[in-house]
Amino acid sequence: MESVAGKKEHDNSIYTQPPPLSDEDRERVALDLKAGLHPLKHKFVFWYTRRTPGVRTQTSYEDNIKKIVDFSTVEAFWVTYCHLARPSTLPSPTDLHLFKDGIRPLWEDSANCNGGKWIIRFKKVVSGRFWEDLVLALVGDQLDYGDNICGAVLSIRFNEDILSVWNRNASDHQAVMGLRDSIKRLLKLPHNYVMEYKPHDASLRDNSSYRNTWLRG
């Protein structure tokens, strides 16, 4: 979507045919166009989690996830984004989630349960810029293997901030590694920068998002 994040340049040979729009999505796009708006490829939802210090249980985690707003046009995105708190102002520990509509930011969600996430750790002073670049890329469909992406999370922690990009299929090695390379290009990370990958079923077993990662690259 050029009007969000600039034109995407890529090798079309790596893409599969995207799934057809549902009747609901076609109706949404038609209404947006009729109103003179610029529809996004996907409808998105921002979520917010303020973690309670102490033992993490799945019930308490789900209870703490709050939907902020959804949007499906370029115009609605900018209205939403301009009113969101900047990462530097958020308390620790906090998570800010951006997911495609219909996908909850939970490991157990049907869209996430067979997938995993790439993890990128940053110093707190630079995380806001990288988060903004990632948000614009997701909304504008700028990342390779975009139909395999579920969403992204910014995790505000005491000593560092963590970005993670969630995908649907942890067993699709080509898509997993292709997504890693696309993220590195987007964020202009050094070639030797080490990212970490963790399947969600491993997170369920050890009840941890960012410890005991399985793959580094």
| pLDDT, tens digit, 9 for 90 and up, residues 61-103 | 788 899 999 999 999 999 999 999 888 899 999 999 999 999 9
What's the pLDDT score for residue 186? 95
- Domain range enclosing 71: 27-216
Q: Cis bond leading into 93, ω under 30°?
A: yes
Tell me the C-alpha distance between 93 and 75, whole Å.
31
What's the pLDDT score for residue 187? 95
Torsion of CA 153, 202, 148, 107, to 10 degrees: -60
6 lies in some domain: no
Question: Region 93-121: what's the mean pLDDT?
Answer: 96
Tens-digit pLDDT profile for residues 129-187: 999 999 999 999 999 999 999 999 999 998 899 999 999 999 999 999 999 999 999 99
119 lies in some domain: yes
What's 89's domain CATH number?
3.30.760.10
> What value does the mean pLDDT of the chain take?
83
What's the pLDDT score for residue 65? 92
What's the pLDDT score for residue 52? 66
The CA-CA-CA angle for residues 143, 88, 60, to 5°, reads 80
106 lies in some domain: yes
Sheet holding 161-167, edge to edge: 65-73, 39-50, 94-100, 149-156, 161-167, 116-122, 196-199, 215-216
144 lies in some domain: yes
Q: Does residue 24 surpass a pLDDT of 50?
A: yes
Question: Which residues 6+ apart lie within 8 Å of 181 measured at CB?
Answer: 144
Please state the domain count of the chain: 1
201 lies in some domain: yes
Question: Region 189-201: what's the mean pLDDT?
Answer: 91
Tens-digit pLDDT profile for residues 5-19: 443 333 332 223 334
141 lies in some domain: yes
- CA 97 from centre of chain: 7
At 58, is the pLDDT very low, low, confident or very high (cuts 50, 70, 90)?
Answer: low
11 lies in some domain: no
Long-range contacts of range 82-91, CB-CB < 8 Å, 24 or more positions apart? Answer: 84/46, 86/128, 87/127, 87/128, 87/131, 87/154, 87/156, 87/161, 88/124, 88/128, 90/156, 91/50, 91/156
What's the pLDDT score for residue 5? 44
167 lies in some domain: yes
